[in-house]
Amino acid sequence: MSGTPEFSLVFTLADAAHGRAVSVEADADARTQIAGRLGLAALDRFIVTAEIRAIAGGIGAKGEVRADVVQHCAATDLPVPATLAEPFDLRFLRDVDAPVGEDEEIEISSDDLDLLPLEGDRIDLGEAAVQTLSLALDPFPRHPDANRILAEKGVLTEEAAGPFAALAKLRGKPDA
């Protein structure tokens, strides 16, 4: 990511040494910027709660991202509101980005999916929370009236336009 993050919450190893509870709500300006970055129609609420703690080799952050979002319907562009509550358990560690050879295969366990690099002695929990939100969004949001609207415009459903639709029409016809 280039530039300054929209919602930066920086914590250091010193902050995490004795554990720390965090609960921060993004202001309207940050929510507008995050919505723009993620292609949302609106981001009405964005709250991060977490426990920050020191772990071997870095910092651990366990908590939840809560958000009220409005996405664009993938079929009609109508607004699709949703309330999300996405838990996370992240580990920010030194040497996470060890280089891998071009022909070298690596195996990643589910425990490795939430590993992020420790940047010096600090983490940006806000940026990690925005990324957590982006992964929790519905990739193809659909408005409840999408099928009706599309049908009124003459768009066929997948079943009506698919390869088996022609066979279904033939099933009821007598042989010639």
- Which tens digit of pLDDT belongs to each residue from 29-62? 999 999 999 999 999 999 999 999 999 999 999 9
Q: What is the pLDDT of residues 11-30, one digit of tens each?
A: 999 999 999 999 999 999 99
Q: Which residue has the higher pLDDT, 166 or 127?
A: 127
Q: What is the pLDDT of residues 63-77, one digit of tens each?
A: 999 999 999 998 888
Query: What is the pLDDT at residue 100?
Result: 45
pTM as predicted:
0.77
Q: Is the dihedral of CA 2, 128, 90, 88 positive or negative?
A: negative
Rounded CA gap, 124 and 66, in Å?
17
Query: What is the pLDDT at residue 167?
Result: 65
Q: Where are the beta strands (DSSP E) in 10-157?
A: 10-12, 20-25, 42-55, 58-72, 79-93, 115-117, 122-124
Question: How many Å separate Cα 14 from the centre of its chain?
Answer: 29
Q: What is the pLDDT of residues 75-111, one digit of tens each?
A: 888 999 999 999 999 999 987 654 445 555 544 444 5
- Across the chain, mean pLDDT equals 84
Q: 7: buried, middle or exposed (CB in 10 Å: 19+, 13-18, 0-12)? A: buried
Find all residues with CB under 8 Å of 34, minimum gap 6, and list them. Answer: 6, 7, 26, 40, 43, 46, 130, 133
